[in-house]
Amino acid sequence: KAGVTQTPRYLIKTRGQQVTLSCSPISGHRSVSWYQQTPGQGLQFLFEYFSETQRNKGNFPGRFSGRQFSNSRSEMNVSTLELGDSALYLCASSWGDKNEQFFGPGTRLTVL
């Protein structure tokens, strides 16, 4: 079974631009969560989608948004990029609420 895939793996953007990251969960998994990992703040929860609905949201500004498609694939978007948005963005999928989450390799975003 293929694991969680994230594209692109690396991305360089400049301040003010916007970016879209993609996550394909493990086949059959309906929940997709997104996390931001930085050296200073560690791993922080962004949001979770289940059956195309956002079920949970972390404490991030409205510039961070996401969506989930009917095939469970998910995208997250960051608008008006700031230098502080440079991070590793991790996606995780699971079958349901109480199941193990499987993480993808992440997308490394650098904002210049």
Residues at the contact surface with other proteins, assessed by CB under 8 A: 4, 31, 33, 35, 42-45, 48, 50, 55-56, 58, 90, 92, 94, 97-98, 100-106
To other proteins, the closest distance from the beta carbon of 31 in angstroms equals 5
* DSSP-derived secondary structure for 12-36: EE-TT--EEEEEEPPTT--EEEEEE
To other proteins, the closest distance from the beta carbon of 41 in angstroms equals 9
Q: Which is nearer to other proteins, 38 or 80 (CB)?
A: 38
Q: Which is nearer to other proteins, 28 or 42 (CB)?
A: 42
Look at the alpha carbons of 70, 54, 96, 8 in this order and tell me if their dihedral is positive or negative. positive
Q: Which is nearer to other proteins, 58 or 65 (CB)?
A: 58
